[in-house]
Amino acid sequence: MRILIQKFGGTSMATEQTRTDVMNKILEAKKKYEGVVVVVSAIGRLGAPYATDSLLHLVNHKHTNLSPREVDLLMSVGETISSLIMANTLLDQGHKACALTGGGAGIMTDSHFNHAEVTHIHTKPLMTLLREDTIPIVAGFQGVNVDRHVTTLGRGGSDTTAVLLGEALEAEAVEIFTDVDGIMTADPRICKSAKIINTISYNEVFQMAGSGAKVIHPRAVEVARRAGIPLIIKNTFSEAEGTSIMRHIGPTNKKTVDEQIITSIAHISDRVQFSIFGQIDDEKFFTDLAKENVSIDIINIFPDRKVFTIEEHCKNKVIHLLEAFGAEYSLIEGCCKVTVIGERMTGVPGVMAKILRCLSKASVEILQTADSLSTIACLIREKDLEIAVEALHEEFMVSEYVSK
């Protein structure tokens, strides 16, 4: 059976009008595929009554006495409501549709509440509906563990649900519908000159998502790459072709935005930089940090000091530990990380020099850097974020860009 998976994000589910747009995308797909499986996120963003963040705010989640299992039960409700409302929209118009929870759709997970891993998918419930020509509307972001308790897959996890279902059902493609025309060269919310990327490799999107570009969840990209499933990011509210994510981008005879050395610029906020001066028991300190579940982002070790960056919410744990070690330290709060991404930068000289020149010209101070084969990240102050992204975008994406 030729199957397509379509996932719709929170903004697509927000109102009756947007849900009609969703329905039209589903019905269009039904003309081309024998089976269409729909995955939905919770309705809207913070402020909307059933958005995941709104549900969490109902219980003051940072200090709640609810167990992680109960928090998962609460969070999962948003997607469950969404699946019912979308099924109702289709049924009202005379189409065959059926709402399912993650568990009902056969999604089995381990018991790591709040960030569970899918262990197995029983395809029977969905295949039975597809054979009856019914459109399953699956609540994203959730599954059940062996004890039949509801689990969630980590924030942004509906994308992962969609791709895992695509893998299990051997779908031809997975379409992720959102509120922008596709993956762009930078977050359009902070970079006005951001452009759509037509094709991009799994690795580059994985790097983007891992560097903070929230347009798709990194785990979803990882599964798509593993399964070799084409992943397409599209806009629910336009006819734009979207962005195709694939294994390899073949050469063409024109230099376009898809062929540049740098493909995109991502950013992530809420970072704090710590510097430790003098000697402490390094091994024990970093082992204790790991035990406290603090993950280190950028780290540089020098003979006389150590500089590392963490997520803001871990700040107090780090301070506590530093005090316990009697360490001499300083910290810079209100930082963010801007990452320049491009698979083709490997072995190309001068990229770092260009970044340094560009940020210096924009009067942006770099606090720390890190690089990998396909990324260069700079830690800067949050107040400089927009200027830095615009400047780097201008340097790498606009001035080098030749329009198609």
* Residues binding ligand ASP (CB under 6 A): 10, 41-42, 52, 78, 140-141, 155-159
How many residues touch Mg ion under the rule CB under 5 A: the total is 2
Element (H, E) at 59: none
Q: At closest approach, how far in Å is the CB of 113 from Mg ion?
A: 21
Strands of 110-263, DSSP E: 118-121, 135-139, 142-144, 150-152, 173-178, 199-201, 231-235, 243-246
Cα 356 to its chain centre, rounded Å, is: 28
Q: What is the dihedral of CA 175, 176, 181, 182, to 10 degrees?
A: -90
If one asks whether residue 214 binds ligand ADP (CB under 6 A), the answer comes out as: yes
User: Pairing relation of β-strands 305-311 and 264-277?
Assistant: antiparallel
If one asks whether residue 11 binds ligand ADP (CB under 6 A), the answer comes out as: yes
Which span sits near Mg ion by CB under 5 A: 151-159, 263-271, 347-355, 367-375? 151-159
Q: Considering CB distances under 5 to 8 angstroms, the limit depending on partner class, which of Mg ion, ligand ASP, ligand ADP, none binds residue 179?
A: ligand ADP
SS3 assignment for 98-139: EEECCCCCCEEECCCCCCCCEEEECCHHHHHHHHCCCEEEEE
159 and 216 Cβ atoms separated by less than 8 Å: yes
Q: Considering CB distances under 5 to 8 angstroms, the limit depending on partner class, which of ligand ADP, Mg ion, ligand ASP, none binds residue 52?
A: ligand ASP
**Of the two residues 36 and 42, which places its CB atom closer to ligand ASP in the complex?**
42
Q: Considering CB distances under 5 to 8 angstroms, the limit depending on partner class, which of ligand ADP, ligand ASP, Mg ion, none binds residue 213?
A: ligand ADP
Q: 385 to each of 28, 193, 338, how far by Cα in Å?
A: 40, 15, 8
Instruction: Specify which residues 338 forms β-bridges with.
Output: 267, 378
Q: Considering CB distances under 5 to 8 angstroms, the limit depending on partner class, which of Mg ion, ligand ADP, ligand ASP, none binds residue 184?
A: ligand ADP
Q: At closest approach, how far in Å is the CB of 331 from ligand ASP?
A: 29
Q: Considering CB distances under 5 to 8 angstroms, the limit depending on partner class, which of ligand ASP, ligand ADP, Mg ion, none binds residue 342?
A: none
Separation between Cα atoms, residue 140 and residue 143, nearest integer Å: 8
343 assigned ligand-binding residue = no
If one asks whether residue 187 binds ligand ADP (CB under 6 A), the answer comes out as: yes
Q: 225 to each of 99, 182, 196, 248, how far by Cα in Å?
A: 28, 18, 21, 11
Looking at beta carbons, which residue is closest to ligand ASP? 158
Instruction: Give burial (CB, 10 Å; 0-12/13-18/19+) of 198.
Output: middle
Q: Considering CB distances under 5 to 8 angstroms, the limit depending on partner class, which of ligand ADP, ligand ASP, Mg ion, none binds residue 268?
A: none
Contact flags string 263-302 toward ligand ADP, x per CB under 6 A: -x--------------------------------------
If one asks whether residue 247 binds ligand ADP (CB under 6 A), the answer comes out as: no
Which span sits near ligand ADP by CB under 6 A: 98-106, 173-181, 255-263, 282-290? 173-181
**Of the two residues 106 and 140, which places its CB atom closer to ligand ASP in the complex?**
140
Q: Find where tokens 């396909």 sit.
A: 374
Q: At closest approach, how far in Å is the CB of 153 from ligand ASP?
A: 8
153 and 109 Cβ atoms separated by less than 8 Å: yes
178 assigned ligand-binding residue = yes
Cα 149 to its chain centre, rounded Å, is: 25
If one asks whether residue 209 binds ligand ADP (CB under 6 A), the answer comes out as: no
Annotated binding site for substrate: 52, 79
